[in-house]
Structure 1
Amino acid sequence: MQKSDWQGIFPALLTPFDDADGLDLPMFKKNLLAQVEAGISGVIVAGSLGEASTLTNEEKFELVRCAKDSLAELPVVLCIAEQSTAQAVALAQEAERVGADGLMVLPPMRYKADDDETVLYFKTIARASSLPIMVYNNPIDYKIEVTLEMFRQLAEEDNIIAIKESTRDVSNVTRLANEFGDRFQIFCGVDTLIMEELMLGADGVVGGLVDAFPKETVAIYKLVKAGRYQEALAIYRWYLPLLELDIHPKLVQNIKLAAQATGIGNEAVRAPRQPLAGAEREAVLQVIERAMDTQPQLPDYLHL
């Protein structure tokens, strides 16, 4: 796969931890291999779902190296979520040295930059690295929206190639396509909108519940792109209660519990997060167990 042809399902990988609160690399590899078997097209490492805010830079690079060893030709994309431009540039340059194939860049953290500051932030990172970049546009969680005018300016940087579209406005997929054609690869970044945005022309999905249910996620993508909408819709309707676990403040705990239930993860999280407990945990488990009891029969989607 060419780096400029990113498409398909890119899991935002979980970061498993062991009993000593270190990286659980064997479990990380187990999950990664399940993703590859299901037909994913690339991975995002150390994103928000990967608990990036609790990871050291060296742990992030260790995850990149581990993913590269397991993935061969598929792109490994490291998330950049920093408070200063200098820190973001340093992380991007080191990521390139350790073998990352691309970067997913969030806007500046904590400080709510204005439009000009945000554009300059992204441009500075792009100019400091030769890696292809996906801009993460999520004003709901990060309070900064990358507008069409801002993307016009970012289009001047050849290595800004993709957008993780998480505004939760599905019509933004069409706005971007109308304005830029195929200049950017558009990825749906909200689990509960994956089928809608794929049908509107999104090139791929950066997903969360794919960490626990990889085959069903890839099947929806493949079926939609093949025009087999009714088959995709049947899977999507089954999937939606699970996908809603992603749009929750405790999405990390929810999805880690789901991955543990399907045998490709564990529910250990790094403080200040704590595993789900009591009635809250039971409610999430009920959603997961109900879905596992009714998992749909999948067609031979890998050969579409």
Structure 2
Amino acid sequence: MIDWTGVFPAVTTKMRQDGSVDIDATQAGVERLVSSGVSGLVMLPMLGENASLTDAERERVLRCAVEAVAGRVPVLSGLAAITTDDAAAKARSMKSWGAEGFMAFPSLGYRTDRRETVEWYRSLAAATNLPIMIYNNPIAYGVDVDPVALEQLAGIPEIVCIKEESGDVRRVTDIFNALGDRFVVFCGVDDQILESVALGASGWVSGMTNAWPTECVKLFDLCRQGRFEEARPLYRILTPAFHLDTSVKLVQYIKMAEHVACGAPEWTRAPRLPLVGDERSSVIATLEKTVEALAGLN
């Protein structure tokens, strides 16, 4: 049984410079997260380069995470596909590899309308008996699982949670007003976590937690306890780095944050390329300033 509260980082898949998957570094990252107090893990999110991996690589990554976690926290898997049949097949495979639930994307190949979106998630729920977190990111994927769609999914017990990343923090309140406590609401964008928890979100799927897990868990806990005066200074320090989570290059930026914070590999798989030039310098400057400010706060 998953306790749907706390920080569930969207975990990066570590790569070598040649683009091959680095299982040892991935397991080291998982251990660092769990040891820092996160409440769960989301393996194979888009931040984990899900769409760039083969099925064999996805299996290795998910199994290595389950092995490293050893039952200490739940392990969810990103579930991303183009067709309904492929998504259902992936769900069954990922369950056999150790996934305890899914963070399910809309179809990656087609912008479904509301009727099609509802049917998509109904079909995924029917594929296994594992719980599902809907990943709602209309900015990136052009599909909005709004309160009207959620009302049509409310009778499906496998659909438990929504990762809310519409970009409008008011949506948290709209969901509660429309559906009460039927769905657990997770914040899905790092630079809205304080606001989202203040409005009732009980969890956080976070990218930058990969870089600063202890600080992000502390921030979340302060917010959940209503200790906003204590949370604000930490939030203000982290927010410039959190803004990097909203870029199309969030994979490169967050891996660079891990590299700056703890020496983890920065490498990604093509077509993503390493940061260069002024962009690289600017991102590193933001991250190094964050490291310095955190040291001063501590």
TM-score by length of 1: 0.94
1:1-150 to structure 2, matched below 5 A, reads: 2-3=1-2, 5-71=3-69, 72-150=71-149
**1:238 touches 1:291 (CA, 8 Å); kept in 2?**
yes
Moved more, 178-187 or 227-236: 178-187
Deviations 1:86-120 (A, max 9, x none): 10000001111111000111111121111111111
**1:8 touches 1:203 (CA, 8 Å); kept in 2?**
yes
Find the aligned partners of 1:14 and 1:54 in 2 and give their Cα distance.
12
Aligned to 1:158: 157
Aligned to 2:250: 251
Aligned to 1:302: none
Query: SS state of the match for residue 12, structure 2?
Result: coil
**2:34 touches 2:73 (CA, 8 Å); kept in 1?**
no
Shift of 1:232: 0.7
State the AA in 1 paired with 2:267.
A
Query: SS state of the match for residue 49, structure 1?
Result: helix
Find the aligned partners of 1:256 and 1:92 in 2 and give their Cα distance.
27
Q: Structure 2 vs 1, CA of residues 298 and 157 (structure 1 numbering), >3 Å: closer, same or farther?
A: farther
Query: SS state of the match for residue 256, structure 1?
Result: helix
Shift of 1:238: 0.6
1:238-277 to structure 2, matched below 5 A, reads: 238-263=237-262, 265-277=264-276
Q: Calculate the aligned-residue CA RMSD, in Å.
A: 1.3
Moved more, 197-206 or 30-39: 30-39
**2:153 touches 2:159 (CA, 8 Å); kept in 1?**
yes
Find the aligned partners of 1:19 and 1:104 in 2 and give their Cα distance.
28
Deviations 1:27-70 (A, max 9, x none): 11111111112210111111111111111122112111111112
**1:119 touches 1:153 (CA, 8 Å); kept in 2?**
yes
**2:19 touches 2:270 (CA, 8 Å); kept in 1?**
no
State the AA in 2 paired with 1:208.
G
Shift of 1:285: 0.6
Aligned to 1:212: 211
Q: Which structure 2 residue ranges, 5 or more long, are not aligned?
A: none
State the AA in 1 paired with 2:10.
A
Deviations 1:9-44 (A, max 9, x none): 010011111244221111111111111122101111
Find the aligned partners of 1:86 and 1:102 in 2 and give their Cα distance.
18
Aligned to 1:285: 284
1:173 equivalent to 2:180? Answer no
Find the aligned partners of 2:148 and 2:288 in 1 and give their Cα distance.
45
Aligned to 1:235: 234
Shift of 1:231: 0.9
Shift of 1:166: 0.3
Shift of 1:297: 6.6
Find the aligned partners of 1:106 and 1:23 in 2 and give their Cα distance.
23
TM-score by length of 2: 0.96
Query: SS state of the match for residue 133, structure 2?
Result: strand
1:164-203 to structure 2, matched below 5 A, reads: 164-203=163-202
Find the aligned partners of 2:27 and 2:248 in 1 and give their Cα distance.
26
Shift of 1:247: 1.1
Shift of 1:298: 7.1
Query: SS state of the match for residue 162, structure 1?
Result: strand
Query: SS state of the match for residue 207, structure 1?
Result: coil
State the AA in 1 paired with 2:194.
M
Shift of 1:296: 5.0
Find the aligned partners of 1:227 and 1:186 in 2 and give their Cα distance.
17
Shift of 1:249: 1.4
Query: SS state of the match for residue 294, structure 1?
Result: helix
